[in-house]
Structure 1
Amino acid sequence: MNALIRVTGAVQGIGYRPFVAELATKYELKGEVKNLGGIVEIIVLGDEENISSFYGELKKSSPSGSIVINVSLEYLKENEPEGLIGYSGFRIVESSDNFEKSYLPVFPPDIAICDKCLEEMHDEQNRRFGYPLISCASCGPRFSILRKLPYDRKTTTMDVYCLCPECNNEYQKGRRRHAQTISCHSCGPQLIFDAFDSEGKDLSDTAISEGHDLSDTVIIDKAARIIQNGGIIGIKGIGGYQLAADPYNYEAVKKLREIKGREQKPFAVMFSSVSEIKRLCKVSEKEEEFLLSSAKPIVLLDKKNCDFSENVCGNSGQIGAFLPSSGLHVLLTEKTGPLIVTSGNISGEPMIIADDIFRDRFSDKIDGVIWYKRDILRPLDDSVIQMYKDSEGNDEPRFIRRARGYVPLPLFLNNTLYDGILFEAYGADLKNTFSIGYGDRIITSQFLGDMEDYKTVKLQKNELKEFCEIFRVDNLEAKSKLIICDKHPGYHTTELADSAYKAAETVKTRLITIQHHHAHIGSVMAEHGLKNCIGVAFDGTGYGTDKTIWGSEFLVCNEVNFLREGHLKPIRIVGQDEGMKNAAISAVCYLLDSGLEIPRGIMDDSELTLIRAALANNINAYPNSGMGRLFDAVSCILGICSYNSYEGECAVRLQNAAEKYSDMNVFSDNDAIILPIKISDEDNVMDVTDMLKELLSLRDEESRELLAYSFHKAIAEAVKRIAINIRSRHKISDICLSGGVFANRLLLYLCDKMLKEEGFVVYYNRILPTNDGGISAGQVYLANLMIENS
């Protein structure tokens, strides 16, 4: 009996073909397995019962790191396939460039070092003892070194290394069978250490001989000593260059902040083990699961007994903790203990992946760098996850940043995209990602950065081009292309989309613009397969259809467009960029608009005079209904934080203060002060004048923590009241919450709880970031609904 079995999903780069070969041998089947573009194709010959058992096992089991979407079985004619005539066993054959034309292929992300490789690296009797770049069929770099599919050694940046006899033997059998990143002390990339003086001159005596058994140990020891003595070391990680420093050394952390131009934003800390993390942080079962996962993301954890230098996490109540993703990081942290490990770039610029660029940029600022000769093709920063405990007590992961360990895994849709259309979405200017969509999936890029930096604009153009090449979009049966961007006419992404539209030649192309907050809600709808909902999108700013700044939107989203059914009353805020950073400006503008006195200490008299004059003469003053600006204003009014030295700092510290109260009172509703928010019956516009007046009268009499919590509760109550009003008009009970403000877990908890108590079905982002990183996927999903129903 002959059969053809096809497996679709993330089944390349994780040892799937060796897994199939071993399983076929177990069931006494002959045949072959090969990568066919984005799928695995298997031909088997043997007893029908054995083929059936083999097929059944393929459907229920797979190697670690794989994602199997579908396994299909088709029995063939009795005559034996020509390629197998005279062949008695089961073989792995060369990959084919023939690609399926009906869907985008799935490829796994970079995978952190597995337990078996970890054991080998620590085993003195193993030939890979102490080899920092150890990997196997189940772990190691994947997407960061991939040139094109199908995934073979020759299509990665490992192609420059020839296997030694021992690695070549392992490549034929065992757990490294067809492991494309297979290497060792003798034949793979080796560590190199360069030390620098204050002018960037290389101080290395002579290059430590590559391939020598002790060279890696010497390098790790040297780097560890520098860090322990207060120095800063560069590290070539899996997805790009990083900077490492001792979190216990105040001066080292201060120097690191100066180098990166990062004044206050908390640093993430890499630990050697979960037990080490538990010493300083509270770790739930779900948080531990993500810390130990193959992605090894940064997980934001509540502090317990943190004894780091005060300038590591600042005023944050959390630590961004993570475990080593490579053997190099494991060996280094075992020597040093916890390490600040942060992206090797100047804040606001893309992560550096090129050896020469990193050296040019940092050699005069740091004490040395550990690197190796294997090219990284695309920057993949560490992913960041925060666990959210919903109102029913369930821990839910939520992405702050989605990159290494998760990209390029697609979002699989409940409803397929419109047949024959390739979707290309350019996202937002902040926290930019782009997305491509076709068939039943959307592939969203890694976090790229903010487009105000020209380097990020160039990176987005290059990455989109490479994504399209890797995932063979030209091979798809697309009859037309839909390019989607934000409605903001001044966005860099809008300009890029418009340029791509004008340059399109090969297929029929259309350009669609989608409002920013509608796209936020679209990202949630995409995750949950919704076509109609109430959407609540809270963030700092977004270009509205009335050409003003939005950011507190209550939308009714249908299959064609949206209705704006509620928002904060717009107030004029002076200054654009500075107005977003300086919370005192937001506070003064809100108080002046409400006819309230400005308390002493919020702003100098000279600055206040300028703000009054600008408002009176309408100079650089723009209507703004962003919820983020209200959070900034309240944070300043309560004396918690008056300037955003990094994005969202004032709101984060306001949340921290509220959580101190709520932790003590276990989210008690009884003790919170009622802060009135007036909501108009006609258009659901929220007027916070009375609330601000109450906050001013109480700020010297009540604790900041209580007032901060009461503010969060007041906003959640307003969300509930407006949602009830909208439901009564439109008869919709599904409600989606998205936007950067909903990264605030306390606000999300209160909204979730109150809405569910009123019978709403509440949805929010789990797979995509709730901030602007999810915008591009939302753009694809909504554009598809518009096309379907136009």
Structure 2
Amino acid sequence: MKALIRVTGAVQGIGYRPFVAKLATEYKLEGDVKNLGGIVEIIVVGESWSINEFCERLKNDCPPGGIILDVLLKELGDNVEPDGLYDRSGSFDGKFVITKSSDDKEICDLPVFPPDIAICDKCRSELVDTSDRRYNYPLISCTSCGPRYSILKNLPYDRENITMDIFKMCPACSSEYKDGRRRHAQTISCHDCGPQVLFIKGDKKVSGNKAVVEAADDLSHGKIIAVKGIGGYQLAVSPYDDEAVKRLREIKGREGKPFAVMFKDIAEIRKLCVVSDTEEQYLLSSAKPIVLLDKIKKDINLGGISRQIGAFLPSTGLHVLLLESQSALIVTSANISGDPMIVSDSEFNDRFKDKVDGILIYNREIIRPLDDSVIQIVKGDEGKEIPRFIRRARGYVPLPLFIQNRLSDDTIYFSFGADLKNTFSIGYKDKIIMSQFFGDLDSLRTTKLQKKELENAIRIFKTKEVAQKNETTKTEIICDLHPGYVSTNLADEFYRHNDNFAGKNVFRVQHHHAHIGSVMAENNLKECIGVAFDGTGYGPDNTIWGSEFLICRYDEYERESGFMPITMVGQDNLVKDAAMQAACFLIEAGMNVPEEIMSSDKVTLLKAAITNNIGTHKNSGMGRIFDAVSCLLHLNSYNDYEGKCAVMLQNAAEEYADLCFSLEKRESYLSISSQNTEVLLDYGYISYEGRRVVDTTTIIKSVVEHLNKDGAQKTAYLFHATISQIVCETCIDIRKKSGLNAVALSGGVFTNRLLFNMCLSLLCKNDFMVYYNSAYPTNDGGISLGQIYLRGLSALKEKEG
């Protein structure tokens, strides 16, 4: 029997063809295997039972890092069609071979490609084994680990299509490439033939093993060293040297935001942090993300004002070697705060060479920046641990989301996300591929990077070929409703200048609806009650939204409730100035503004601006309420980095919970519902433009009253409990009206684990099915995902009638 087998999934860059060849030999089959665009094509000759069992193994087994989506088996006649995709003339002579890759002539789907994979255990063992020929080789890798997406020029994933193409294999590597665990490992290299490390310090240059040793020694003496990591340049420094850390902040223009810390091993992390089983799994996973961990003692200096430390483990051999002589290092992206991570050697030299004490570099090009992914594990009711992404990048991108409520088969979708924490997404059929985190589009460098990466994605994932495969294929371009967003302008520019995509149309999706859409996408929902708590989002009524209760059915929504809009003065700087926000809330509530918040002269000017409608706007953003309350409780009055005021408010609330609950209940207090508290803040509802909304001024008055009576920590806790109670009450009312029992929670405010868990606990106690972001960010990083999914639901609604 002769048969064609086509395997689709994440099957490139993981040693899949050697895996297939070994399996075929086991089943005594002859034939060949090759990469074909984004899939793997196999031709086998042998007994029918053997081929069928071989096919079943392919469906169920896969090398580490792979994902199998489909295995198609087609019996072939003795004479294979000469013009077919599977044309292989001649005899296989009883052998099974790996043949040269080729482009797919009939692109019909988006290919799946694996992300960069952190150093595996076997490579790590070889790295420190004095008898191994790759002993102390910093760029060690194999079929199970190493750079993938960061060095990919094009598919199929072969040596000539990645930045390893300039390195010719030595005889030893050539031999390993043909057999063993590095068989067809495209990044295979060693001391003799691969990229080499160089340590540059002024006019001095040190190569080889001495380069890493000298760099590590400088780090132990308080120096700041630049390190070319797997996804871009990083800056490294000892976290225990206060002066060095202060200098690092000056270099990056990063005043107070905590730095992530790379630890030597899990044992070192446990000395400072509480590590659950799920947190350990993520720390040790092949992605090696940053995981936000509770400090054992809150007075530990690492992590700054946060009660948590962003901890992670080495992802490359270079990091492993740097940490041999010390327990931990701050390892942060090499960029000026607000700009994207640098991958270019020349750009790094232009911007940082004179600011650091040394540069640890290697001579392999990085195509695209991939910052570290950031995950928080939230501990919910009954000990359930919920992974939640803060940032999704290295280790996870470009793996797609597979959706059951598939998109239109004749439409390819491009979404442009939001201006903050920007990502773009590409969708087709049952897959949505979301890009890596880029940063905020107020940086021109970030905007240029986003445009460049979209062009690369169009080439790599063959979207032009998909769009052009038949005359009926349409292109939908989706962006935010805000007319002034950079991302909106990028979408319009894409519409104007990409003539290769036929049937183009631009659709605009309201920001908070897209937040809920991202939860619906992850959980394959068609309808739900959406609770979107965010800082800023443009509404169709020309006001700033951010505390929305939505009835979502397919691609449509009704804005059912929310919090009362407040008249605020200022635009761009308002988000940082919590004192200005607090003053606006107090004025709206008819209360005096204390001198410690704002001087009387400024208050007079502020009131005049509000009265005369000068530079004012209506704002109902939940983020602004959190900032104002943080200021009113004298916790923090200015966001010198995003979310600082809200973090201080959350810290105070959790510190109160620490006092109230025993250490045995430390992991469960975060889900204590407001029903277990002795009292809530005062709150009420009013009618506003035909909707029943929360009277925010009543809450503000109660915050001031309780501060004088209960202190900042308890009031902060009661504020969180009150908001969660309002969420539950409002959802109960909407359930009565709509009949919906599913609730989706999303938006940047829900990165607050205390608020998230209080809401989750109360809603579950009231028999709601609660959904949330888990594999994608709940902040604006997930917006592009929701934009595409909601547009896809429009097509599904038409199909279902």
- Stretch moving more, 496-505 or 144-153: 496-505
Structure 1 residue 226: Cα displacement: 1.5
SS in 2 for 1:396: strand
Structure 1 residue 86: Cα displacement: 4.9
Aligned twin of 1:208: 206
Structure 1 residue 72: Cα displacement: 2.2
8 Å Cα contact 1:536-1:554 kept in structure 2:
yes
Give, in whole Å, the separation in 2 of the partners of 1:84 and 1:739: 59
Give, in whole Å, the separation in 2 of the partners of 1:175 and 1:370: 29
Q: 1:181 corresponds to which letter in structure 2?
A: T
Q: Deviations over 1:233-277 (max 9, x none)?
A: 000000000000110011000000000000010000000101110
Q: Deviations over 1:22-58 (max 9, x none)?
A: 1111111111111111111111111222222222221
SS in 2 for 1:340: strand
SS in 1 for 2:100: coil
Give, in whole Å, the separation in 2 of the partners of 1:119 and 1:763: 41
Structure 1 residue 712: Cα displacement: 0.5
Aligned twin of 2:427: 437
Q: Deviations over 1:430-476 (max 9, x none)?
A: 00000011111000000001000111111111000000000011111
8 Å Cα contact 1:281-1:306 kept in structure 2:
no
Aligned twin of 1:219: 211
Aligned twin of 1:494: 488
1:768 aligns with 2:763: no
Q: Deviations over 1:128-166 (max 9, x none)?
A: 000000000110000000000000000000000000000
1:34 aligns with 2:43: no
Aligned twin of 2:116: 110
Structure 1 residue 83: Cα displacement: 3.3
SS in 2 for 1:208: strand
SS in 1 for 2:562: strand
Q: 1:491 corresponds to which letter in structure 2?
A: Y
Counting aligned pairs with the same residue, the percent is: 55
Give, in whole Å, the separation in 2 of the partners of 1:305 and 1:661: 15
Aligned twin of 1:674: 680
Alpha carbons of 1:102 and 1:186: their partners in 2 closer, same or farther (altered >3 Å)? same
Give, in whole Å, the separation in 2 of the partners of 1:421 and 1:223: 52
Indicate which of 155, 165, 184 corresponds to 1:159: 165
Give, in whole Å, the separation in 1 of the partners of 2:751 and 2:297: 24
Aligned twin of 1:45: 45
8 Å Cα contact 2:406-2:792 kept in structure 1:
no
Aligned twin of 2:257: 265
Aligned twin of 1:699: 707
Aligned twin of 1:453: 443
8 Å Cα contact 1:38-1:100 kept in structure 2:
no
Indicate which of 527, 531, 536 corresponds to 2:531: 536
Give, in whole Å, the separation in 2 of the partners of 1:143 and 1:99: 23
- Stretch moving more, 576-585 or 171-180: 576-585
Give, in whole Å, the separation in 2 of the partners of 1:262 and 1:370: 23
SS in 2 for 1:253: helix
Give, in whole Å, the separation in 2 of the partners of 1:639 and 1:580: 17
Aligned twin of 1:342: 332
Indicate which of 559, 566, 573 corresponds to 1:571: 566
1:251 aligns with 2:259: no
Give, in whole Å, the separation in 1 of the partners of 2:144 and 2:498: 40
Aligned twin of 2:190: 184
Q: 2:442 corresponds to which letter in structure 1?
A: E
Indicate which of 566, 580, 585 corresponds to 2:580: 585
Aligned twin of 2:284: 292
1:648 aligns with 2:656: no
- Stretch moving more, 680-689 or 525-534: 680-689
8 Å Cα contact 1:161-1:188 kept in structure 2:
yes
1:504 aligns with 2:460: no
Structure 1 residue 603: Cα displacement: 2.2
Q: How many equivalent pairs are there?
A: 774
- Stretch moving more, 648-657 or 107-116: 648-657
Please tell me the root mean square deviation across aligned C-alpha atoms, in Å.
Answer: 1.5
Give, in whole Å, the separation in 2 of the partners of 1:444 and 1:392: 33
1:275-674, aligned counterparts within 5 Å? Answer: 275-305=267-297, 310=301, 312-476=302-466, 477=469, 479-506=473-500, 507-663=502-658, 664-665=660-661, 666=669, 667=672, 669-674=675-680
Give, in whole Å, the separation in 1 of the partners of 2:381 and 2:604: 46
Structure 1 residue 532: Cα displacement: 1.1
Q: Deviations over 1:143-199 (max 9, x none)?
A: 00000000000000000000000000000000000000000000000001111xxxx
Give, in whole Å, the separation in 2 of the partners of 1:618 and 1:710: 34
8 Å Cα contact 2:405-2:796 kept in structure 1:
no
Alpha carbons of 1:535 and 1:124: their partners in 2 closer, same or farther (altered >3 Å)? same
Q: 2:22 corresponds to which letter in structure 1?
A: E
Q: 1:338 corresponds to which letter in structure 2?
A: A
Structure 1: gaps spanning 5 or more residues: 196-201, 210-214
Q: Deviations over 1:472-519 (max 9, x none)?
A: 111113611111111101001111111111223231111111110111
Aligned twin of 2:68: 68
Give, in whole Å, the separation in 2 of the partners of 1:376 and 1:244: 19
Structure 1 residue 698: Cα displacement: 2.0
Q: Deviations over 1:535-584 (max 9, x none)?
A: 11111000001011000011111124111101110011111122100111
Q: Deviations over 1:393-432 (max 9, x none)?
A: 3111111000000000001111211121110101100000
8 Å Cα contact 1:279-1:305 kept in structure 2:
no
Structure 1 residue 674: Cα displacement: 1.3
Structure 1 residue 596: Cα displacement: 1.6
Aligned twin of 2:666: none
SS in 2 for 1:735: strand
Give, in whole Å, the separation in 2 of the partners of 1:502 and 1:711: 48
Q: 1:96 corresponds to which letter in structure 2?
A: S
Give, in whole Å, the separation in 1 of the partners of 2:61 and 2:532: 40
1:97 aligns with 2:103: yes
Structure 2: gaps spanning 5 or more residues: 81-86, 662-668
8 Å Cα contact 2:290-2:310 kept in structure 1:
yes
Aligned twin of 2:15: 15
Q: 1:482 corresponds to which letter in structure 2?
A: E
Structure 1 residue 283: Cα displacement: 0.3
TM-score, normalised relative to structure 1: 0.96
SS in 2 for 1:247: coil
Give, in whole Å, the separation in 2 of the partners of 1:142 and 1:290: 20
Give, in whole Å, the separation in 2 of the partners of 1:99 and 1:12: 18
Q: 1:534 corresponds to which letter in structure 2?
A: I
- Stretch moving more, 85-94 or 407-416: 85-94
- Stretch moving more, 235-244 or 721-730: 721-730
Q: 1:707 corresponds to which letter in structure 2?
A: T
Q: 2:156 corresponds to which letter in structure 1?
A: P
